[in-house]
Each structure stands twice: as structure tokens, then as C-alpha cells.
Amino acid sequence: MEGQGYPSKPRLLHWYDQNARPLPWRKNPEPWPVLLSEFILQQTRMEVGIEYWKRMIKRFPTVHDMSISSLEEVMLLWQGCGYYARARNLYKLSTVIASRDPPIIPSDPKELEKLPGIGPYTSAAISSISFGIPVAVVDGNVKRVYSRLNAIENPTPPEVQKWANVCLEEKRPGDWNQAIMELGATVCTARAPKCGECPISSTCKAKLTENPTKYPAPKRRKSKKINGHALVISSPEGVVLSQRDGPQLGGLWGVPITEDPNGLQELCSDYKIGSPERVGEIHHAFSHRDFHIQVWKIDVLKGGISSASVPISRLDQRILEAAGCVEI
Ligand code: SF4
């Protein structure tokens, strides 16, 4: 790729050797701890993700340990981490691996991609970090470093992948991939790049401009607004909860909800209750859906279960908080 800027390999690797954050899975980058970290960090911030990783690795030190547990237990441990499809895929992946002979995580990126929840980024990360296979990762951090080194506002995914393939350090592929991502996460950050501390600033075109943060150009996120209702039916035994399905919250438990702004009456008649009291309103944003939920509550004599006994989403926790029905 002629005319493009590439990071200096010795400089970036030296910087990484001196500055890499002491993340717990880096001490011994075996496939299972690394895979677990990659699943968790796909959509969770590092500080929060480390706590979830510790919790999961303590309960499931091996992929086999997870495979002989249950989806419900995995979901309970994942509770609050969001994007629950990751937890469902992780459990499924553990059972797929356990059913094989030998029951081990493959090193080949193409084989890894056949497993639930693993795409090109995750497969390249596991292959390079745990097995030393020379394959380049591309994530948001790599894209940002590429865009800024070359002052390109709207890079295409194949363009970034091609660049990452060319600059890969084949002798230390895992460290190299982590070095670029680490640079993007800690120095070349989205909003406040620290160009004065950057080990590759001598080849950076964005640094020469007035505003490096305009690379890459921000994507506009379109969110759908949902105006709905949630019904908290509470008794001395607990609250009425049922298991949800669907890609976002499937496998978790929650209170009756309607996404129809005029659907409260129908919801009440489905559950054969009279007139609930309005106890609050919550706003809760998922990646593409903004929920504006009116929370209604009614007390009944019996029925329901303890909300602490099943995995529930943050959305339902907030609904129960609004209704004063949270159990720890
Ligand atoms: S010099 Fe600044 S903009 Fe360029 S890569 Fe380094 S931190 Fe990012």
C-alpha cells in the first residue's frame, strides 16, 4: 500500500513492553482466559470488564467447567454486563468444545470462526495472542490509529484490514496486535489523543493537522424511540416475572412489558388485573433502541417469585427499583 504511513515496529513494541496495562489474562495468555476476556470486552468497558472476567474465571477456570454448568448460571454471573447474546454464545461455545475429541479451543482462525459468537476480530485476537499465529486484528482502536496515521476520515473495513496485514510484526503477532490496540485505548484515544506521549507520532499525518480527533469521522447512530409500559405485579411471595426471548434479552427474566404506547390495557387484561398505579418512568438506552417506559404497579395477594433468584437485565432492575421491589 504505497504512500501509506505505518507505525515503527521497534518503537511501538518497545513502548508496549514498557507500558502495557497489567491485565489479568496477560500474565498467562492461555486460550480460555483470553477468549473469555475477548467476549466480555466486545461491548464492555475495561474497568467493568475486568471484574466480570475475574468473576467468570473464578467460577469457570476451564472451558470444561462452563460446559458442565447451566445457561442459567452463566446468565446469573453475566447479569449487569449487558449484551446477553455474548453470554448465551459463550455457554454454547463451551458445550461445542466439550463435545469434541480432543475438547480443546482450536488455534486456526478459520476454525475459531465456526464457533458461536466468534467473528474475524475475536478469532484473530485468540489465534495471535494465545497461539502466536501471525494474523492481524482490526477493531475500533486499530481503525482509529490507521485513520490518524494517514489522515483518512472515512476508511473502509477492507482498507484497514489490508493496512493491518501489511504492518503486522510476524515474530510477535500477539504483542503487536495488542500494542496497536493498547495505543488506541490509552494514548490515541477517541476524544483526547496524547500526541506528546505517542511513540509513533513521527509518522502521523493527523498530528500535523489542527484537530486529530476528526479522524476517523464519527458515525451517526440512529436510535429508535420506544414508548411503552411495564407492569410490576407484586405480592408477599415476589413479583411476576417470566423468561424473555429475542436476541437482546433472551434467557433473562423480566416483568410484563409492552412496546405499544396504547397497550397498557391489553397488558393488564393479559394478566387479569384491574387498575395499576403509575409509580414512575424510566429511560433506558440499548445500542439502537431508546426505551421510555411508564412503570405501573399493582399489589396482589399471592404469586410471583423472588427477583434475586433469576438473572434479570439492567432494564428490569431499574423497573423494579422504580416500583420499590428490588431484592438483593
Ligand atoms: S500522534 Fe497523536 S493522533 Fe497520531 S497516532 Fe499518535 S496519538 Fe494518535
Q: In which domain, by residue range, is 306 found?
A: 225-322
User: Does 205 share its domain with 236?
Assistant: no
Domain CATH for 163: 1.10.340.30
Confidence of residue 3 (pLDDT cuts 50, 70, 90): confident
Answer positive or negative: Cα dihedral of 116, 27, 40, 57: positive
Average pLDDT on 302-314 reads 90
The set of cell numbers assigned to 170 is 510476524
Confidence of residue 244 (pLDDT cuts 50, 70, 90): confident
Our answer to whether residue 38 is catalytic in this structure is yes
Q: Which of 30, 38, 51, 159 is catalytic?
A: 38
Q: Helical H runs in the chain?
A: 9-19, 31-41, 46-59, 63-67, 71-78, 85-98, 109-112, 120-131, 140-150, 157-167, 173-186, 264-270, 314-322
Among 169, 189, 214, the domain-final residue is 214
List pLDDT tens digits, range 56-67. Answer: 999 999 999 999
pLDDT, mean of residues 310-315: 89
Q: Mean per-residue pLDDT for 259-281?
A: 94
Tell me how far apart the alpha carbons of residues 38 and 106 are, in angstroms, rounded to a whole number: 15
DSSP, collapsed to helix, strand or coil, labels residue 318 as helix
> Higher-confidence residue: 191 or 218?
191
In a domain, 328, yes or no: no
* 33 has pLDDT over 70: yes
Q: Are residues 158 and 133 in the same domain?
A: yes
Q: Are residues 177 and 270 in the same domain?
A: no
Does residue 3 form part of some domain?
no
Is 327 inside a domain boundary? Answer: no
**Atom 2 of ligand 1, residue of closest alpha carbon:** 195
Q: Whose CA is nearest to atom 8 of ligand 1?
A: 188
Residue 253 lies in a domain: yes
Percent of the chain with pLDDT over 70: 99
Instruction: Identify whether 2 is part of a domain.
Output: no
pLDDT digits (tens, 9 = 90+) for 8-31: 999 999 999 999 999 999 999 999
* Structural domains counted in the chain: 2
Predicted TM-score (pTM) of the model is 0.82
Residues 61 and 163 in one domain: yes
Q: Which atom of ligand 1 is nearest to the CA of 198?
A: 6
Answer yes or no: do 239 and 194 share one domain.
Answer: no
User: Does residue 264 sit in the same domain as residue 159?
Assistant: no
Average pLDDT over residues 73-94: 93
The residue out of 179, 195, 214 marking a domain boundary is 214
Averaged pLDDT of the chain: 94
> Is residue 134 in a domain?
yes
pLDDT band at 221 (very low <50, low <70, confident <90, very high): confident
As for ligand 1, residues whose beta carbon falls within 6 Å of it are 145, 148-149, 187-188, 193-195, 198, 200-201, 204, 206-207, 212
Q: Sort strands 224-235 and 257-258 into parallel, antiparallel or unpaired.
A: antiparallel
Q: Are residues 143 and 234 in the same domain?
A: no
Cβ neighbours of 247 (radius 10 Å): 9
